[in-house]
Amino acid sequence: SASYLYSIFAIYAMGWHLGRGNIMQAHHYSMELYFESAAMILTLITVGKYMETRSKGKTSEAISKLMDLAPKMATVLRNGNETEIPVEQVIAGDIVIVRPGQSIPVDGRLLEGFSAVDESAITGESIPVEKQPGDTVIGATVNKSGYFKMEATRVGNDTTLSQIITLVEEAGASKAPIAKLADKVSGVFVPVVICIAVLAAIVWLVLGQPFAFALSIGIAVLVISCPCALGLATPTAIMVGTGKGAEYGVLIKSAESLEIAHQVNAVVLDKTGTLTEGKPVVTDVLPASGVLRNPFLRAAASLESLSEHPLAEAIVHYAKGMEIEPDAAQNLRATAGQGIEADVSGKKIFGGNALSHLKMMQERGIDLGGFSEKAETLAAEGKTPLFFAEENKLLGVLALADTLKPTSKAAVDAFHRMGVDVVMLTGDNKRTADAIAGKLGIRAVAEVLPQDKEQEVRRLQEEGKKVAMIGDGINDAPALTRADVGIAIGAGTDVAMESADIILMKSDLMDAVTA
């Protein structure tokens, strides 16, 4: 303002002297124009601010993406008729019908039917959860197989998804602002410079110089001392940093995250999809004595080819990878809590997980030999054992697990070498979590809900740690927003990417070390 106002005065002074023929004085005032300085300072600082704002992520987009997850309509049973209504109109106590492939509209309790529900988005549980009457189901999770009726227990703002949305909003609003060094300096610097400028003008006035000269001295002090270079230099450095990150597939969304990342001394990792592949694969094939491996796999794949369960898909995929084509299976029957059976090449084939299959086997008088102990050992390693039998003899056991990504161990070791504590948080069961954590040599906190993840991050922050959270799921969004630096793995959900400060384009944990 000072340079702009003085420049206007200088223009009038030029006009005044030109009108009186004082060419030298007019020429003198033509050197006293500071319009470009005033414009340049504002331009540089505004461009800097614009560049900074451009690189900041928007939490509001994360919230709208979360809201899109919940289905908009629900099928309810009212007065004996099926009616499709907007999900907002569902009230606690309504009977809701959910068909295979549909998202569950609200939280509730299963009344009749049997299904496998993919809860990975909310809980992080990598393998779909079998649901029977009496079990609870969560809104926005996906019904993978089976038709069921449920009673709505929590609707509207009480659902698990709504609580996650609220947590993301709160964490975004209360993110600890970095006390920027520039802000601290300018708090002292600006008043001191103004004092020096005023003092300089007064000194020249006292020494007998005209007011115009004294004022121009004061303005010169103000203009020159304005650190407009910083206004551009800082965002430029950020642009270079973010550009360099992009070359390595690391997208940095905010200046703060770039600044804090080097101070991080604790990393919190999600398990499913971050440390692990996020989908089950066959890890062990254990045929019973007298049973050949390939016929066992063919029988298992034939039975499972009729099922839509992700474990079944993993078995069929594994068999095809071994160039084993499943036979045609007919008459698939699923018994709640016991497993499935079907007719393959004129023989009855049975399949089910450890608990359900024990009941099935006992009913049919099938001898398990030492396989129940083997199943226990596999379960202790965090694997899911499935038994298969033909008529009244055991074929063998297949074990499936969500396996570690190839680079996970190297990345964790690299973090340890950097002096960073690594903690794994997962909604999965304790046994599976401990098995994975044991392989990596890190601490695991299992069976945590999304809000617990956020609390765990907060607890580490209260211990004085700078925390980076690395995750990929909707259930990680509150923790990603709460952490000092939130890092989303590229193949994860849009919500995780919107909530995070840094996005890894590849689903590779080594990129987090690079970041």
- Give dist(CA 155, CA 91) in Å, integer: 6
Choose among 446, 358, 362: nearest CA to 397. Answer: 358
- Give dist(CA 356, CA 226) in Å, integer: 75
CA distances from 125 to 20, 235, 332, 403 (A): 88, 41, 27, 13
Is residue 472 annotated as a catalytic residue, yes or no?
no
Choose among 490, 506, 487, 510: nearest CA to 407. Answer: 510
Write out the two tokens for 438.
């044991």
With 0-12 / 13-18 / 19 or more C-beta atoms within 10 angstroms meaning exposed / middle / buried, residue 245 is buried
> What letters, b where the CB count within 10 A reaches 16 and e where it falls short, cover 454-479?
bbbbeebbeeebbbbbbbbbbbbbbb
- In sequence order, the 6+-apart residues with CB closer than 8 A to the CB of 134 are 109, 110
Count of other CB atoms within 10 angstroms of residue 41: 17
Count of other CB atoms within 10 angstroms of residue 364: 14
- Give dist(CA 471, CA 507) in Å, integer: 10
Strands 502-504 and 485-489, by their bridges, are parallel
Choose among 110, 138, 96, 133: nearest CA to 337. Answer: 133
Question: Quick one: which H or E segment has residue 437?
Answer: helix 430-440
Query: Any bridge partners for residue 157, and if so which?
Result: none
- What residue has token string 């005065």? 9
Count of other CB atoms within 10 angstroms of residue 390: 20
Residue 102: φ, ψ to 5°: -85, 155
List % helix, strand, coil for the chain (3-state, nearest 5): 50, 25, 25
- Give dist(CA 206, CA 218) in Å, integer: 14
Query: Any bridge partners for residue 116, and if so which?
Result: 130, 145
- Catalytic residue, from 107, 118, 270, 501: name it: 270
> What letters, b where the CB count within 10 A reaches 16 and e where it falls short, cover 338-360?
bbbbbbbeeebbbbbbbebbbeb
- In sequence order, the 6+-apart residues with CB closer than 8 A to the CB of 220 are none
The answer to whether the CB of 423 falls within 8 A of the CB of 445 is yes
Task: Give, to the nearest 10 degrees, the angle between helix 181-206 and helix 211-225.
Answer: 160
Residues belonging to the active site: 270
